[in-house]
Structure 1
Amino acid sequence: MKGKRKFSLKEIYLMAYNFLLFCIWAITFIVSVFSFNQDSSYRNGWKIPFLWSQIAHGVMWMDVVHAIFKVTKSNWFINAVQIMSRTMVSFVVWGIAKSNCVGWWTPMMFFSWSITEIIRYGYHVLNMASEELPKWIVSLRYSSFYILYLTGFAGESITNCMTIMRIPLSSEIGIKLPNMLNVAISIPFIIRVYTLTSAIYFPDMYKHMIVQRKKHLSTNPILPSL
């Protein structure tokens, strides 16, 4: 009879961290469903889902910290790029545009984000707590991006474009001169640059996920390679 597996402090911490984010994203999904049913006109600007996404993405920056200090084996730069993209939408874009940037694409974006992260963080918890996971769980973890990453990126891009259309470049939103740092920052300009940059690097990020899928499903995958 095998003895009970003992977990290190690092493993306990990571399981607690991943479970916390699993719960936050589960709540985000639930409030998104509620908002979808109750605010079909988008007049309220999806305040509650955006609030929960801000909480989630704020906590998710610990993914980058973990990678930098080798607590996890993930690539800190890839993590930072992915989290930064959503952080821009959750904090900056929605922060200045509110209901002007929401529409039919908003639930698509939130459902894509939340389902993706529920799968990802749930997988990490199960993977650390179990000696071996069912193949379908591993396949779900590394195959769901084929659709969810596309729909999530589409939702982010439309949100950004709607903001660009409704907030002119000449808008004075940002940090104006004169100030102590003698630096002027135009938020509308930053959103335009970020939107263009995201579109340019999207193919590379998508290819990276395909490579990761092949790497983790290379041995007897339950689903055929796509």
Structure 2
Amino acid sequence: MASRPPAKQRQELKLKANYLVAYNTLSSALWAVVLVRTILINIREGPEKVYEGVGEYTKWTQTLATMEIVHALAGIVRTPLTTTVVQVASRLNLVWPILHLCPESMRTSTAYSTMLLAWSITEVIRYTYYARNLQGEPPAWLTTMRYNTFFILYPVGILSEAWEIYGSLGELEGVSGVVALVEKAVLYGSYVPGAYVMYTHMMHQRRKMMRGKKPMRN
């Protein structure tokens, strides 16, 4: 029989688990608001009004995800740091410099709506799965969604992000040539390898699940 960890270690593990359940539950709820509001605004007013209705909220919801880099650095979770940084940094680039410096063209584009839909659906599923996984075995339907919806949502999200950056380049040239150059480098130099990193990571996680092994908890 394996020996039980010391009482202090058990307490620390419980505190960490409780914190992660709270973090993931909160994040899932925040992204659920983004999802519902994006859908409703598109139905009632059209995609050109989505940023006006949910843009600032989305910006700060996404900014909260920087905590995931902290979690990985501190060893609170076993998520690969590279994968976490790629996903968080690429989104922060969209919600901060791109949408701040190019307020007209990219805030009202259809790609902004499809980007938010892909992000929010992905995150509601992901964070809900993590929270349930920390509390026990997640329901089969949630596991299925977690490890299959990315086949559609990742390409939609990545293409929408790339379109937002590409469409902003003309405006960025008028704001700052340096910023425009950096964004061109991001678009043409990092999106293909970044997409590969994210997609292969999810395929690896899916293969582990299909073999009956639990993937890393967040």
Instruction: Select the structure that is richer in helix.
Output: 2
**Partner in structure 2 of residue 167 of structure 1:** 171
**Partner in structure 1 of residue 27 of structure 2:** 21
**Partner in structure 2 of residue 203 of structure 1:** 196
Q: Quick check: 1:136 aligned with 2:129? A: no
**Partner in structure 2 of residue 110 of structure 1:** 116
Q: Distance in 2 between matches of 1:77 and 1:41?
A: 33
**Partner in structure 1 of residue 209 of structure 2:** 216
Q: Quick check: 1:150 aligned with 2:142? A: no
Q: Distance in 2 between matches of 1:39 and 1:106?
A: 14
Among 13, 16, 35, the residue aligned to 1:10: 16
Count of aligned residue pairs for this structure pair: 201
Q: Distance in 2 between matches of 1:57 and 1:103?
A: 19
Q: Which amino acid in 2 is paired with 1:105? A: A
Q: Distance in 1 between matches of 2:37 and 2:181?
A: 31
Q: 1:215 to 1:157 in 2, by over 3 A?
A: same
Gaps of 5+ in 2: 1-10, 214-218
State whether residues 165 and 187 of structure 2, in contact with CA within 8 Å, keep that contact through their aligned partners in structure 1.
Answer: yes
Among 184, 188, 193, the residue aligned to 1:192: 184
Q: 1:99 to 1:77 in 2, by over 3 A?
A: same
Task: Give TM-score, length-normalised by structure 1.
Answer: 0.81
State whether residues 71 and 77 of structure 2, in contact with CA within 8 Å, keep that contact through their aligned partners in structure 1.
Answer: yes
Runs of 4+ with >6 A deviation: none
**Partner in structure 1 of residue 85 of structure 2:** 80
Q: Could you give the per-residue CA deviations for residues 66-116 of structure 1, whole angstroms, max 9, x where no partner exists?
A: 111110110122101111111111111111112311322222111100000
Gaps of 5+ in 1: 1-5, 174-184, 221-226
Q: Distance in 1 between matches of 2:146 and 2:65?
A: 18
Task: Point out the more displaced range, 11-20 or 31-40.
Answer: 31-40
Please provide the CA RMSD for this pair.
Answer: 2.2
State whether residues 98 and 165 of structure 2, in contact with CA within 8 Å, keep that contact through their aligned partners in structure 1.
Answer: yes
State whether residues 38 and 50 of structure 2, in contact with CA within 8 Å, keep that contact through their aligned partners in structure 1.
Answer: no
Give 1:168 deviation, angstroms: 5.2
Q: Could you give the per-residue CA deviations for residues 169-208 of structure 1, whole angstroms, max 9, x where no partner exists?
A: 3x343xxxxxxxxxxx822222111111233312333122
Tell me the secondary structure at the aligned position of residue 143 of structure 1: coil
Give 1:161 deviation, angstroms: 1.0
Q: 1:45 to 1:8 in 2, by over 3 A?
A: closer
**Partner in structure 2 of residue 53 of structure 1:** 58
Q: Could you give the per-residue CA deviations for residues 35-91 of structure 1, whole angstroms, max 9, x where no partner exists?
A: 21233261x461332212211221101111111111011012210111111111111
Among 30, 35, 45, the residue aligned to 2:41: 35
Instruction: Give the % identical residues.
Output: 24
Give 1:27 deviation, angstroms: 0.9
Tell me the secondary structure at the aligned position of residue 167 of structure 1: helix
